């Protein structure tokens, strides 16, 4: 197949899933691969946001089977986040607190642009955003998750939001930002991550899936552990349904994979519970194999 936006295949991966979302995304891609559909190496463009940014970077350096096997192994010790090592219960409480804080910011915003500016201001006010030890620890944590710290040769876009301006930021291998820093910025939901003189917050504050960045590609596959939902008012148009409508209006064929209803307990505040990663990976794998025929009708 020729590469190019007129005939290309794009694969956005969404945010909102945290650690379990990353495992679920890996499971979906592995399930599709085992069903004979290799979407990890045949996409002309991959868009990654937050958990999806981690997954996109991981798949650039390892096979779906390798990543899936690793996701099925529950960690035996706490893993570090920006604030250092925490047990799963602590991580869940921190995630719930973070969701409550950001929900209050969203509720006070006038529109999407105002929301992003306010979220950036709130993140910059956190002590962790100016703590170099926290910044370094977060970068090391992200680096340890990636099989290869180099940008892949293929087209990969990783999203973030400039914490000072609220403007969108999209990183690729030509942006002058290393892959580790791009992923760390895209996943910075609890503080503002520094890259050079700039600081960034989670790319999902732009849009959860950022599927609109695949505009112009004829076939688009969206994997969304967040289920296409948004915490913003619906009239702001940030939800996945609006992004899909926009893509289709411009001529793209779009297929979406979201978790089944039996997997809801794996996300939300529980998304940072590392003990749930194996279950999330299995749920993603089952979803991928179950929907492989439908996806093949789009992709092949």
- Name the pTM for this structure: 0.91
Cα 132 to chain centroid distance, Å, stands at: 24
- Helix (H) or strand (E) holding 138, with range, is helix 132-145
Q: What is the spatial distance between Cα 114 and Cα 94, in angstroms, rounded to a whole number?
A: 25
Residue-level pLDDT at 191: 96
Q: What angle do CA 285, 277, 64 make, to 5 degrees?
A: 45
Residue-level pLDDT at 295: 97
Residue-level pLDDT at 243: 97
Phi first, then psi: what are they for 195, rounded to 5°?
-130, 105
Joined tokens for residue 242: 């609006």
- pLDDT, averaged per 10 consecutive residues of the chain (300 residues), comes to 45 72 98 96 95 96 97 73 53 79 94 98 97 97 97 96 98 98 96 98 95 96 93 96 97 96 89 94 98 96
Lookup result for tokens 């609220």: 166
Q: Is domain 12-299 classified as CATH 1.10.3470?
A: no
228, 238, 280: which is closest to 258 by C-alpha? Answer: 228
**Could you give the dihedral angle defined by the CA atoms of residues 234, 237, 241 and 242, in that order, rounded to the nearest 10 degrees?**
150
């Amino acid at each position: 197949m020729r590469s190019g936006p007129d005939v290309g295949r794009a694969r956005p991966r969404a945010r909102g899933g945290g650690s379990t979302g990353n495992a679920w995304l890996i499971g979906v891609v592995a399930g599709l691969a085992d069903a004979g559909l290799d979407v990890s190496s045949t996409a002309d463009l991959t868009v990654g946001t937050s958990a999806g940014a981690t997954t996109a970077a991981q798949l650039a350096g390892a096979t779906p089977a390798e990543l899936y096997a690793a996701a099925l192994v529950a960690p035996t010790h706490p893993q570090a986040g920006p604030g250092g090592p925490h047990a799963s219960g602590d991580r869940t409480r921190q995630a719930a607190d973070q969701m409550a804080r950001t929900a209050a910011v969203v509720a006070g915003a006038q529109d999407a642009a105002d929301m992003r500016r306010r979220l950036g201001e709130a993140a910059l006010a956190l002590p962790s955003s100016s703590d170099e030890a926290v910044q370094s620890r977060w970068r090391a944590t992200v680096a340890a998750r990636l099989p290869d710290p180099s940008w892949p040769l293929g087209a990969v876009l990783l999203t973030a939001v400039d914490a000072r301006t609220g403007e969108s930021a999209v990183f690729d291998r030509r942006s002058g930002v290393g892959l580790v820093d791009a992923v760390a910025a895209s996943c910075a939901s609890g503080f503002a991550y520094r890259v050079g003189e700039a600081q960034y917050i989670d790319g999902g504050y732009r849009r959860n899936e950022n599927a609109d960045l695949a505009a112009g590609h004829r076939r688009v596959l969206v994997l969304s552990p967040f289920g296409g939902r948004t915490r913003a008012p619906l009239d702001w148009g940030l939800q996945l349904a609006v992004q899909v409508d926009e893509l289709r209006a411009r001529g793209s064929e779009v297929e979406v994979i979201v978790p089944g209803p039996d997997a809801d307990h794996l996300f939300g505040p529980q998304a940072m519970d590392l003990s749930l990663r194996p279950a999330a990976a299995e749920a993603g794998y089952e979803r991928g194999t179950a929907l492989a025929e439908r996806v093949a009708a789009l992709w092949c």
